Structure 1
Amino acid sequence: MRQDNSSGKAYHEATKHSYLSVQLDPNYIDASTQPIAFKVYPKFYRRVKLNLNNKIHSFIWLTSAVTLEKVYNNVPYKLRVNPSAGALYPTEVYVQIRGVPDIVDGIYHVEVENNCLTLIYELIDDGLESYIIPNKSISGFIFFISSVYYRSSWKYKNRSIRYCLLDSGHHLGAIAASAYLHERDIQLIFDFDKLALNTALGFENKEFITACAVSGEAQDQKVRQLRLQVPFVCGTDYFEANQFIEDSYQTTACQTSQKQQLKQPQFDFEPDKFYQTVWNRRSIRRFRKESILQEQYLYVLQKLEQSIPTENFEEVEIYSVVHRVDGMLPGLYKGANLIKAGNFSEQTGYLCINQAIARDCGVIFFFVCEYTSYQTAMQIAGFLGQRIYLVSNYVGIQCSGIGAFYDNETQQFLETDKDVLYAMAIGI
């Protein structure tokens, strides 16, 4: 039967897991063939070394910083403030800076590995505002998230379109966390002409823009489009095209989101403690099957309900399956409402492709959505996932994102016909 690929739902449907699909394609890979995870421009490009004693530099640095280096199965990994499926890190960050003292107005690439800004385009009277907010000029910062999708599709094949978008949402969450610590408001923007911007940035088919975050003052001033195409450097040492991913991105890039009023979240984190949380955030690999406190669980739920700073929005509903929370009846919940009681730990472990973390955690969250914009919905799911990571770690419990599950069976368990976008496990 031919797929109707005119909507995000069709592409989501085409990347569903089932017990049979996983058995037929266990997806073994050769780790020695992994493409590089850092994009670096040639050495003759002008660079600004980020000085962490400078508040502006610190704000930029903490959006993407490497926080730990480790070796796993003889493969070195540099872990960052933003989680990523399989630690493959397909996201890159570019930032337009305008009107900031001691920094040349321009478009910069955030060179994560070397902790610096690389100037890739110097501005005159042109800029990226014209692609996202016409007739406005931003004095401050516009962060752009892109996906170098082959870093993810190398392992996850077609389903990596999901991981690229979830990872983009995680990275937006990391920008939001740095903005909070540096007392800056941000606005996430998902609806803009991404295809035109990809062309202006010279991305060919190897990289694509997913979203942006604005932090600055908007002025009524028309900014013309870039006078020149930005020079392009491939973000991997070799590249293999995936037509499914390229088609799914092209189609869903044009979908428009629902609308809401822009509202900043109101958090009351203790700054030093939250900074350490951002710095030390990790994905847990194993839970000890111990109960978490009810106040810890409720604190996470409360922070999840805080607003997302965007006018482009998709309503992501969150179900929670309580396994081990002191004072709470095990079962499936939506918000504070118990839908069905029972010990479902074995079942959720099975649904998440027999991953022990989904069985042994204290609570597992499932994100579902009926969307108009697939890209926005998936990125908001990733943004909320990053919020769960930070809030759970802040209150002393652990967390792990789960992108692999049997889609249809999970829908049946949750008793919903909406698409399941993501799962998050918390516990001890």
Structure 2
Amino acid sequence: MSVSPSSAARLPAAADIALAYHARTKHHLKRYAAGPETLDWDAQPNPFREFAGSPRTHLPLTSDRLAASFAEACEGTAAIQPLTVDSVALLLELSFGLAAWKEHGPDRWALRCNPSSGNLHPTEAYVISEAIAGISDGLHHYVSRDHVLEQRSWRGAASSGAPRLWLGLSSIHWREAWKYGERAFRYCQLDLGHALGAISYAAAALGWHAHVIEGVGGTQLAAILGLDRASDFAGVEAEDADVLIAITPRDAGPPTHDALPLAADAVADVWKGTANRLDRHPLYRWPIIPEVSAATAGAAQDAVAAPPPCPPRTPRPATRAAELILNRRSAQRFDARFTMTAGALHELLDALLPHARPPWNAWPYAPRLHPLLFVHRVEGMTPGLYALPRSEGADSRLRRALRPDFDWHRVEGAPDHLPLFHLLPTDSRGVIRTASCHQAIAGDSCLTVAMLAEFMPLVADNPWRYRQLHWEAGLIGHALYLEAEAAGLRGTGIGCYFDDAVHEILGIVGSQYQTLYHFTVGRPLTDDRITTLPAYPGRTRNEVGVLP
């Protein structure tokens, strides 16, 4: 990692801000982090950003034509699609598009392919295209509600080379802060990780790779995405520039920095569109959120070696990737009597290891998070606490940081490549339910995962790592979501938990490690009172022909 002298002078203060924010926004058994005292659901902020005056391109809906299976997407064997408007539309449909509308009484809400805390969706997606048939060169904003691209800028000269595609992601913090108050910045970062996972799996189903681009800081990315154009965002909620992703066919090499899109104002002749206001009457202000956002802006360049090859996986049903992605849901309740198989657990955990498969082939950083598993009902496994260290030497470091009475025995019957350790036999259903803000799903599931991050040294050295660690947690969560669906189960992310109560359970003292996200997996119980409606009423997903 290289840091400029001017940046280095700011690091200590910025790190103090990031660490203080994390401590301040912890939930405790006797009090929750600061948030709104009341919510008016009829005045919820608009979940869809639009740019008035931007020309629109209506995208086709073609997910019913994509034949690639989920197994082929994960194994890197899906047929490679050409970079055209149809395939870009499919990438967006399967990563940020709507999966369905839901109704219960007078309430109606949209479900998207990228999960979000509280279904609030702070993440916005932008497309940068060059020489892609059917899409003008330049910058576009994706509106998931309508499945359209809004063109924000035009390139000064048309591209004549090979087609190239990037996705830029940003966050509207107010969407989360409206409900969650000061803790919302954490949730926005977790959502970014889920969005990265959604892009990686969708790209793999098209025979493509997604690459998180290192070293692109917030200021540079804001210029590329036009988020620094004050006149286009006057009087409305700001967007925080987060990450740039290059999309390439699987048989192409990884992108290089000289192939990155330039700042839009340097290459565009025309800008169109002004952002809409999402909340006309905000009742609260949370100044700590823009403060921690500024403190953690930046980037890092510390790419690790390519992830190791994937070991063989157990054959699984050839469920189409598009079908599985569009049917992914968060379970609201679990069957407290259901027991999952050990084989299903091993498949879930195998997907969390940093192998050369989605979503980890998109992630250029060393693994820094390690799942702690509160196992309730898995065939052949003693209920209790288990650990899955995800990097070399992590088990030794965790042994020193966690309780000394943990036994650290390798789990018999687990695949040799799976570093699964038994720590403590115990019925943890009640304790993890309490620690997860008294949520029944944490105890009724087959298992609950607490994602333990290497924390203090990383954030103190570079405050941007605070974002990165949450993104990695979201990536783990997204892998669990889709692997649970593939196993006929379902998952649910939990962002509300009593931070230090969990640390006390694990024996953690200090801030060297911190838990950043919880996740549950089990067999869901459905609520028949909720009606499911088509994602795009009035439009049908194209069922003519099949994409290989």
- Both structures adopt the same fold (TM-score exceeding 0.5): yes
Partner of 1:244: 288
8 Å contact kept, 1:399–1:424: yes
- The Cα of 1:117 is off from its aligned counterpart by 1.0
Query: CA 1:262–1:250 in 2, change beyond 3 Å: closer, same or farther?
Result: farther
Does residue 358 (structure 1) correspond to residue 358 (structure 2)? The answer is no
CA distance in 1: counterparts of 2:342 and 2:261, whole angstroms: 51
Q: Could you tell me which of 170, 178, 195 is aligned with 2:219?
A: 195
- Who wins on radius of gyration, i.e. which is larger? 2
Q: Cα RMSD (Å) of the superposition?
A: 2.7
Gaps of 5+ in 1: 128-136
CA distance in 1: counterparts of 2:148 and 2:451, whole angstroms: 35
- The Cα of 1:6 is off from its aligned counterpart by 2.7
- The Cα of 1:138 is off from its aligned counterpart by 8.9
8 Å contact kept, 1:263–1:310: no
Partner of 2:500: 408
- AA aligned opposite 2:208: R
Q: Could you tell me which of 40, 53, 76 is aligned with 2:50?
A: 40
Partner of 1:332: 385
Does residue 170 (structure 1) correspond to residue 170 (structure 2)? The answer is no
Give matches, 1:57-72, under 5 Å: 57-72=89-104
Does residue 370 (structure 1) correspond to residue 454 (structure 2)? The answer is yes
- The Cα of 1:234 is off from its aligned counterpart by 3.9
- The Cα of 1:192 is off from its aligned counterpart by 1.8
Does residue 293 (structure 1) correspond to residue 325 (structure 2)? The answer is no
Partner of 2:461: none
Q: Which moved more, 1:388-397 or 1:207-216?
A: 207-216
- TM-superposition CA deviations, 1:204-262 (whole Å, max 9, x none): 56111122221136464686432269554146143755321111111111263753124
- TM-superposition CA deviations, 1:308-353 (whole Å, max 9, x none): 2222445111111101111100111002211111101000000001
Does residue 112 (structure 1) correspond to residue 144 (structure 2)? The answer is yes
8 Å contact kept, 1:197–1:209: yes
- The Cα of 1:271 is off from its aligned counterpart by 6.1
- AA aligned opposite 1:302: D
Q: Which moved more, 1:32-41 or 1:261-270?
A: 261-270
Query: CA 1:333–1:126 in 2, change beyond 3 Å: closer, same or farther?
Result: farther
CA distance in 2: counterparts of 1:331 and 1:126, whole angstroms: 60
Partner of 1:273: 320
8 Å contact kept, 1:314–1:369: no
CA distance in 2: counterparts of 1:324 and 1:424, whole angstroms: 15
Query: CA 1:26–1:327 in 2, change beyond 3 Å: closer, same or farther?
Result: farther
TM-score by length of 1: 0.89
Partner of 1:132: none
CA distance in 2: counterparts of 1:269 and 1:323, whole angstroms: 25
TM-score by length of 2: 0.70
- AA aligned opposite 2:297: A
Q: Could you tell me which of 130, 154, 160 is aligned with 2:178?
A: 154
Q: Could you tell me which of 424, 428, 432 is aligned with 1:344?
A: 428
Does residue 311 (structure 1) correspond to residue 364 (structure 2)? The answer is yes
CA distance in 1: counterparts of 2:14 and 2:341, whole angstroms: 46
8 Å contact kept, 1:201–1:232: no
8 Å contact kept, 1:314–1:377: no
CA distance in 2: counterparts of 1:237 and 1:115, whole angstroms: 22
CA distance in 2: counterparts of 1:121 and 1:25, whole angstroms: 38
CA distance in 2: counterparts of 1:232 and 1:367, whole angstroms: 39
Q: Which moved more, 1:213-222 or 1:46-55?
A: 213-222
Does residue 425 (structure 1) correspond to residue 473 (structure 2)? The answer is no
CA distance in 1: counterparts of 2:522 and 2:279, whole angstroms: 38
Q: Which moved more, 1:255-264 or 1:137-146?
A: 255-264
- TM-superposition CA deviations, 1:31-73 (whole Å, max 9, x none): 112100001222x422221113433321232221111111347
Query: CA 1:251–1:36 in 2, change beyond 3 Å: closer, same or farther?
Result: same
- AA aligned opposite 1:22: Y
8 Å contact kept, 1:64–1:80: yes
CA distance in 2: counterparts of 1:366 and 1:39, whole angstroms: 33
CA distance in 2: counterparts of 1:222 and 1:66, whole angstroms: 29
User: Helix, strand or coil: the match of 1:376?
Assistant: helix
- AA aligned opposite 2:377: R
8 Å contact kept, 1:300–1:391: yes
